[in-house]
Structure 1
Amino acid sequence: MSCPDQSWDRRRVLASATGLVTGSLLPLAGASRAAAASGTAVGAAAQYTNPVIWQDFADIDVIRVGDTYYASASTMHYSPGAPVLRSYDLVNWEIAGHSVPVLDFGAKYDLNGARGYVRGVWASSLAYRPSNRTFYWLGQIDFARTYVHTATAVEGPWSRLTTISTPYYDAGLLVDSDDTLYVAYGNTTINVAQLSPDGRTQVRTQQVFTAPSSVGTLEGSRFYKINGQYYIFVTRPANGQYILKSSSGPFGPYTMRQVLLDLRGPVPGGGVPHQGGLVRTQTGAWYYLAFVDAYPGGRVPALAPVTWTPDGWPVVQLVNGAWGTSYPAPAVPAPTRQVTPMTGVDTFDGTTLKPRWEWNHNPDDTKWSVGGGLTLRTATVTGDLYWARNTLTHRIQGPTSTATVQLDHSAMRDGDRAGLALLRDSSAWIGLKRDGGVTRVVMVSGLTMDGNWNTTGTGTELASAPASGGRLWLRASADIRPGAARPGTFSYSTDGINFVRLGPDFSMGNDWRFFTGYRFALFNHATQALGGAVHIARFELSTP
């Protein structure tokens, strides 16, 4: 739920704990590992380093249910949307599921006659309602209406509870101590809505605050009730955080106080931490999980402890006048399990994709399959990768990481294009072109969009080599440190051991307006006719 300190029967919450993710395990950081082994709480001697997740998870909402922490993030045009992250210590996180299984908000999210780039799932809210042991996701789409999805476990299945005609922009959902549902939302003018007891309709909505001109834009609401006071935590993009407080109920009146402004962040070359959420640990300590603009990689989560003034205002704990690059680890009970890593090998076993994967727009589910590898059959005839369906994406791990895929291209047909891309509004890729019965491995750059996300360049081939046989390994490496050279490099191998560079460095763009960061992307599309396929036996995301 959005208010971490509301009371409820803790045994009931723990009894409703969700299922566990299986797979390879990620060791706990630093002293946390020793604490887990001894079965004791993590002490102040342990340290964590920011960013706690060096992957693109923006507009964070964070909650605690029992001994487990959950966070939600924006995903824009990627499907499934609104990932739910899980942690037991606020430092080590895994992707547990997605609150929006499919972007069923219109044909443009299927790349059907239109495109949904930089639309879709913006800042939304995640909450837990103890009375019915249910998780709620709430978010507006396309400034048109608000959607509410629910699940009894974050892994799903998630289903739509309702749509509400009021678009709750940058919403924060509060489950009050009397079980009433409230939503704080808006841009500069902040409003509070009350929902019906079943959460399906709006009972009332009221303007509760207008940002003073000296502050400007306020948005990104998170809604809390703490010690009987109501708080709306709002951001001034992209350099400030403010909080509104009411002692007279959820509809105010509210007074405002600055939390941070132009604060130096923990990522060299990155921005000011902002637009996240507050959460209280089991032992009563408070933390602020925010994001840092760190393009070309995106917006990465950073964690800082919070204290409270005697009159009830939060204060972020600084290190030498800045958001710390490291802090003592939260003192929490040792986790019962370790989290599933966001890096490593995926052989696409089982019957579904793992939660680390998201498609560029909704896929055509008749054109892909998993089990003993990933098969991508051509789903679109186009010369433009930005129009191609079934492009499967994976976040880049910072500060530098490498993606390697083993690809069987023997079932490609003339005109097909398949490979591994660094995907954003300026993109490049390494892969296979099959034309006239001949297959070549190529490096292509110059795929571009304009500020309205229309294609302005479909790419230029900069290097090529013969591709004999039916199997090839493709590799892309990315340096996503902001302010650096931001190079992406490509190489290939015929044996999976010896790799050959192909093409020049690709300079990844760092303009913020696409919002999401670069991703590794697996694709296969036709330029002549459907019918071809590639098989990806293995994907590995590794760090130095």
Structure 2
Amino acid sequence: MTSKVKAKNPIIPLDYPDVDVIRVDDTYYMISTTMYFMPGCEILRSYDLVNWEHATYVYDKLDSTPAQRLEDDLHIYGQGMWAASLRYHNGTFYVVFAANDTRKTYVFTANDVEGPWEKREIEGFYHDASLFFDDDNRTYLVYGNREVWLTELETDLSKPKENGRHQILVSESEADNPNLSYEGAHFYKVNGTYYLFLIRSLPDRWMRVQSCFIANSLDETFSGQDVLVDDRDYCGQGVAQGGVVDTPEGDWYAILFQDSGAVGRMPILVPVEWRDGDFPIFGDDGKIPVHFHTESTHSDYPYEPLVGSDDFKKQYPKYYGLAPKWQFNHEPDPSGFSVNTEEGYVQISTTKVTDQLLQATNTLTQRMQFPNSSAEVTVDATNLNDGDIAGFCALQGAYGFVGITKETGNYYLVMRTKPLTDLTMQSFTPNNSEEKEWERIPIDNPNVTLKIDADFWQMKDIVRFYFQQDGEFTQIGPEHQVAFKLDHFTGCRFGLFCYSTKKEGGSAQFSQFKY
């Protein structure tokens, strides 16, 4: 039994970029870039394309390299897994993606979306690859930036096929487009016609647009045009890059993403109409409608929220014992992390010495929500060592936090930030500004409830930090500006952290997380 569901964009007001989407029978699955967060490569599930819940993570950890584990001063910020391709073929789920830190391309397979997933590698490095199974049992990857290639694979997907097809489908010179050129490939065959969807920026200004190229055979030259140039009247930020999918009733939709400032890149649902042998029509003649409906294949289905509160009293057998809404910043160190479900807290113990928050192992995160986010957590810092810092952060390249530190046996509340040095989103340069402490307050009781508020509306990207005193929250330090930049390439997140600047082994307990 189906029922109508009203679509409201963004369909997920959270950082889920580079999406791909498929339908298997009456169920839709969507995959997204998770980069350096672990567990990684999240797949979501829906029955109506509007409401989504967690289905699985493809891996708990990837290659356990020193950088993925935050060993020494190494890290993979702005790297990790990008732009996965999700496919279902002959009873098997396939996930293909490249990791920019290892420069490898991975293929994971499973008979059930919840796993277990088997990990293999495809010889070579394929940027933003789209996996494609053709009707003649040949398999291809379509990938690249500025030059978009199609490469035939061996039947076991282990490497390019010897003497197989290998050709450029689309190319664009830097002179023709000095901004982002064609990438983010999604390749399909619909009613006998090949369709290649790509993202690019307009050549005369930074704005993402969706492009489409078509051909009746792989021997033909692909012809193309921009099919969606629309910012939904939001800050000039275009909507592009993602997959298309059909419904059981034969309707088609695209799920693309939109840059939205520091909160990240959020999925946008767009109706699609096909015309035989012609370019598909996105939205209402190239504009995303404000109001439209989809059909649900499971009416009144209760979706589990993708973010939310946690009292840490429920046991989860997977994902390091945590609810799937939590991800670690990089691969965790199990020796420095535990969950006490009887008393309801997470304990983070330090396993290295570092002088910066971004090198803190076992930092536990949740995505912040658009257009506003607020969360609080109670921190028990009794077992900190001198020089340790534990607290609650807004995690991004230009981070900020409120925390508790211990010095010469005394406890202090502190508010610190990493101020922005460059607002340019396209800069890969790490934020090398000095961390600044704005306020320090002596405290007698190292058990404190901390709070963060964030305002992302119209890309204000302002966060404020608080501590609870006599039942009321008091702001500590000034408001702080965060920003989405390519140095981290992810939306701002809430983070629970603890790190040591002098001697490892201290710990803090986090309880009553209220989103």
The two structures have a TM-score, normalised by structure 1, of 0.85
3-state SS in 2 of match to 1:70 = strand
Is 1:211 the counterpart of 2:147? The answer is no
Q: Quick one: distance in 2 between partners of 1:239 and 1:278?
A: 17
3-state SS in 1 of match to 2:83 = coil
3-state SS in 1 of match to 2:457 = coil
Alignment-mate amino acid for residue 3 of structure 2: V
Q: Quick one: distance in 2 between partners of 1:431 and 1:516?
A: 23
Is 1:360 the counterpart of 2:337? The answer is no
Tell me what 1:397 maps to.
369
Distance 1:157 1:252, change over 3 A: farther
Q: Quick one: distance in 1 between partners of 2:352 and 2:420?
A: 19
Q: How does 1:476-491 map to 2 (within 5 A)?
A: 476-484=452-460, 486-491=461-466
Tell me what 1:12 maps to.
none
Q: How does 1:7-406 map to 2 (within 5 A)?
A: 40-43=1-4, 46-104=5-63, 106-113=65-72, 114-129=74-89, 131=90, 133-142=91-100, 144-160=103-119, 162-177=120-135, 179-203=137-161, 204-213=164-173, 214=176, 217-237=181-201, 238-249=207-218, 252-261=220-229, 263-265=230-232, 268-269=234-235, 271-318=237-284, 322-324=287-289, 326-335=290-299, 337-348=301-312, 349-351=314-316, 352-372=321-341, 373-406=345-378
Alignment-mate amino acid for residue 271 of structure 1: Q
| Offset at residue 478 of structure 1 (A) | 0.7
Q: Quick one: distance in 2 between partners of 1:270 and 1:390?
A: 37
User: CA deviation digits over 1:237-289, x for unaligned, max 9?
Assistant: 4422111222124x65422232123x2325x3251000111111111111111
3-state SS in 2 of match to 1:482 = helix
Tell which deviates more after alignment, 169-178 or 281-290. 169-178
User: CA deviation digits over 1:429-460, x for unaligned, max 9?
Assistant: 00111111111121112366885555624522
Q: Quick one: distance in 1 between partners of 2:494 and 2:231?
A: 29
Unaligned 5+ segments in structure 2 are 202-206
3-state SS in 2 of match to 1:59 = coil
Q: Quick one: distance in 2 between partners of 1:147 and 1:343?
A: 28
Alignment-mate amino acid for residue 482 of structure 1: Q
Alignment-mate amino acid for residue 128 of structure 1: Y
Tell which deviates more after alignment, 504-513 or 300-309. 504-513
Distance 1:377 1:338, change over 3 A: same
Tell me what 2:204 maps to.
none
Tell me what 1:413 maps to.
385
Alignment-mate amino acid for residue 97 of structure 1: T
Q: Quick one: distance in 1 between partners of 2:310 and 2:213?
A: 45
Q: Quick one: distance in 2 between partners of 1:483 and 1:470?
A: 35
Q: Quick one: distance in 1 between partners of 2:220 and 2:340?
A: 54
Unaligned 5+ segments in structure 1 are 1-39
Distance 1:215 1:327, change over 3 A: farther
Q: Quick one: distance in 1 between partners of 2:464 and 2:166?
A: 52
Tell me what 2:404 maps to.
432
Q: Quick one: distance in 1 between partners of 2:24 and 2:299?
A: 14
Q: How many residues align?
A: 490
- Percentage of identical aligned residues: 33
Alignment-mate amino acid for residue 286 of structure 1: W
Alignment root-mean-square deviation, CA: 2.3
Q: Quick one: distance in 2 between partners of 1:462 and 1:269?
A: 31
The two structures have a TM-score, normalised by structure 2, of 0.89
Alignment-mate amino acid for residue 338 of structure 1: P
Q: Quick one: distance in 1 between partners of 2:267 and 2:363?
A: 26
| Offset at residue 395 of structure 1 (A) | 0.6
Tell me what 1:520 maps to.
494
| Offset at residue 470 of structure 1 (A) | 4.3
**Does structure 1 retain, via aligned residues, the 8 Å contact 2:93–2:109?**
yes
Distance 1:452 1:513, change over 3 A: closer
Alignment-mate amino acid for residue 230 of structure 1: Y
Q: Quick one: distance in 2 between partners of 1:487 and 1:455?
A: 17
| Offset at residue 182 of structure 1 (A) | 2.0
**Does structure 2 retain, via aligned residues, the 8 Å contact 1:281–1:332?**
no
